[in-house]
A and B are shown apart, each in its own frame.
Chain A
Amino acid sequence: MNDLNEQNDVILHVENLSMLFGSRKTQAREMMAQGASKDEILEKTEVTVAVDDISFSVEQGKIFSLIGLSGSGKSTVVRCLNMLLTPTSGKIFYRGEDISAYSADELREYRRNKVSMVFQSFGLISHRNVLENVAFGLELRGVKKEERIEKAMEMVNMVGLSGWENKEITDLSGGMRQRVGIARALANDPDILLMDEPFSALDPLVRREMQFEMLSIQEKLNKTIIFITHDINEAFKLGNKVAIMRDGRIIQTDTPEDMTNNPKDEYVREFIDSADKSQIYYVKSYMQMPDCLIHVREGVQRALRQMRNHGVSSAYIIGDGMRYVGVLPLEAAFQVRAGEITFQDAIMKDLETTTEDTQISDLMPMAANAKYPIAVLDDEKRLKGIISKAAVLTSLI
């Protein structure tokens, strides 16, 4: 009984999957059987062994992270799961059906209804606007125009792009483009989402935001996700299960905890150790421009109005050439208006500042005491941005 239940939970099952690129495959197989290394095989036969006899199962509603260095075969595996690549050998079962046995029509139905893919460089269609991109899959399925617009709008809203639906793709930032990619994949309401390094092209701050976004969407929709990454932190943060690939093979498949506690071999251990090392983040990646930036000449009235407009409690005061002067807190600004102190006296000029290439971890003590976001200056005391206490803290999660 228990066994049966478990069987039911498995939505995707991969069995002895291999993928060889090149024409002299038979010869390559013979060499493999004799235990030749991949480099030898490549040299002798010009065949690349991209995926070598891997098996794994993915459970319904879970996130399965596949991680490995560049060239380890991750993209090849994920492209076999929707048959963008036809495996050289091995079987892939979707709810017990062998997808490699599908006819062309069955395969198309499978791609249209069951599985969608999100791409590293987004794969968006540039002559279509946001909404038309999101509706693309529905359009291919022949869904009526009103219905698909409605559904696409719903997805656009879900990924937080409300108001951007009629924009051209070229008007969007990288993070927004990938939101479109995710919305497009979700619009088909697939069971499985294949994501091939979806956030690799984004800067760390946006990337974090997208990871969070993805988790919250997953919470709502409960999709099964195959998530490819070469970032161990991302794999551990997102995956219920993580598989580590090396040279076309899976070395270990486990939950993040079990993998951390029981790494199967030295390679896995090193990979996990690298997780902590790669946690070195610099201020540059996390700083923003302040909402409220005021030139000393502009005076207190404008500062107050700007603060009110942006709903913030401090303004950053600069001189000519972006030269940093100090921070004007809201209360002090009110005092200036009431004539109690002068504008110059109200500006706090002795707050601690930092630089772009400071490590975030070194900023912790300063951030803990800071009342306002910390100003980031260059060597000439020009304001480059600010970094908030929240940004410092979340970067360490």
Chain B
Amino acid sequence: MHFPKDLFINIKKPIDNAIEYMVRNWGPIFDAISDGLRTMLFYIRSAVEIIPWWLLIALVFFAAYKTSKTSKKLSSAILYSALLFFIGLIGLWDMMNATLTIIIASVIISLLLGFPLGLLVAQSKRANVIVRPVLDTMQTMPSFVYLIPAVMLLGLGNVPAVVATTIYAMPPIVRMTSHGIQQVDAEVVEASKSFGATRFQMLTKVLIPQALPTIMTGVNQTIMMAISMVVTSSMIGATGLGSEVLKGINRLESGRGFAAGTAIVIIAIIIDRLTQSLGMRKEKA
């Protein structure tokens, strides 16, 4: 039994039309966004490249040393800096910088948009009702789907990659921020009100500091999501390690794919470790 054909409705066409409409009429807006992102990427790239390779390795060494448990401070510091050194050894240092640039840009934008949105969702029932399903959709929709409109609106290259990555990476910070704020002890909130806190004082002196460990978990998750988009976003022209993997696939060069893949894993491990301990240290204080 087939589904009766006369019941079909066409939802592809309206979506195509909408995107086309945007491309045709909102061009200047997307051009402005595009220019803005390109400038941002340029500065981040310059900043990333200014750091000498040995300095970055040293920084990772110290950060890992500082944030590890006392018993294995030295071993984890050595491990993480050695892993980073290994990326240089296999000739992927510059690729890594290109990838880091996209990740950093996406994470910055995700946090700048996602954190205030999380605060809003935590405090307004209506915002919650609207934003939550959107977030769920953003997170469960296969990430390839974003790639098409991103390309149509912004062309190929790093700029649409940043947009697609941002859409994918933003939900955790929104979710964790609002979750953290909502789970602040009701009596503490009541007490602050009873002492005459304004809304702003309540946010800055009570809610955000109390929710900070949870918010930090959100930051960590957002970064990890951004890293997980590296290969996908290379399909629309993102440069760096992701495009190396893609080339490996296209040319059936397993070695190339594995080398770049390993570098991505190393970046993920190092960043995950360092941002996780950030949240934990805050929790203790």
Contact = CB atoms under 8 A, between A and B. Distances in A.
Interface of A: 82, 84, 108-112, 115-117, 119-127, 136-137, 139-141, 184, 188, 194
B131 interface: no
Given A137-B196, A140-B196, A119 B191 contact: yes
Contacts of A137: 195-196
Given A119-B190, A125-B191, A125-B206, 11 more contacts: A108-B198, A117-B191, A119-B191, A123-B185, A124-B191, A125-B188, A136-B205, A140-B196, A140-B197, A140-B198, A188-B195
B6 interface: no
A125 B194 CA distance: 13
B196 A111 contact: yes
Interface string B185-205: 101101111111110010001
B248 interface: no
Contacts of B11: none
The 6 A-B pairs at the shortest CB distance, nearest first, are namely A123-B191, A112-B196, A111-B196, A123-B187, A117-B194, A137-B195
Interface string B8-37: 000000000000000000000000000000
A116 B195 contact: yes
B88 interface: no
Nearest to B212: A127
A246 B196 CA distance: 31
Nearest to A109: B196
A110 B195 CA distance: 9
Interface string B252-285: 0000000000000000000000000000000001
B237 interface: no
A116 B196 CA distance: 9
B210 to A, nearest CB: 6
B209 A127 contact: yes
Contact of B196 (A122, A123, A124, A141): A141
A194 B198 CA distance: 20
B194 A116 contact: yes
A141 B209 CA distance: 19
B243 to A, nearest CB: 44
Contacts of A117: 191, 194-195
Given A119-B187, A123-B188, A127-B285, A136 B195 contact: yes
- The winner among A119, A120, A123, A194 for most chain B CB atoms within 10 A is A123
Contacts of A84: 190, 193-194
A110 to B, nearest CB: 8
A184 B195 CA distance: 9
Contacts of B209: 125, 127
Contact of B210 (A111, A122, A125, A141): A125
A244 B212 CA distance: 43
Contacts of A124: 188, 191
Contacts of A116: 194-195
A82 B190 CA distance: 11
Contact of A140 (B185, B190, B195, B212): B195
A121 B187 contact: yes
Nearest to A138: B195
B195 A112 contact: yes
Contacts of A82: 194
A115 B193 CA distance: 12
Contacts of A125: 188, 191-192, 206, 209-210
A120 B196 CA distance: 19
Contacts of B205: 136, 139-140
A105 to B, nearest CB: 10
Nearest to A107: B196
A82 B194 CA distance: 7
Contacts of A139: 205
Contacts of A119: 187, 190-191
A116 B201 CA distance: 17
Contacts of B201: 140
27 contacts: A108-B196, A108-B198, A111-B193, A111-B195, A111-B196, A112-B195, A112-B196, A116-B194, A116-B195, A117-B191, A119-B187, A120-B187, A121-B187, A123-B190, A123-B191, A124-B191, A125-B188, A125-B191, A126-B188, A127-B212, A136-B195, A136-B205, A140-B197, A140-B198, A140-B201, A140-B205, A184-B195
Nearest to B202: A140
A108 B195 CA distance: 8
B175 to A, nearest CB: 22
A117 B201 CA distance: 18
Contacts of B212: 127
A122 B285 CA distance: 20
Contacts of A126: 188, 210
Contacts of B195: 111-112, 116-117, 136-137, 140, 184, 188
Given A125-B210, A126-B210, A140-B201, A111 B194 contact: yes
Contacts of A194: 194
Contacts of A120: 187
B280 to A, nearest CB: 14
Nearest to B185: A123
A115 B198 CA distance: 16
A314 to B, nearest CB: 42
Contacts of B194: 82, 84, 111, 115-117, 194
Nearest to B208: A127
Contacts of B285: 127
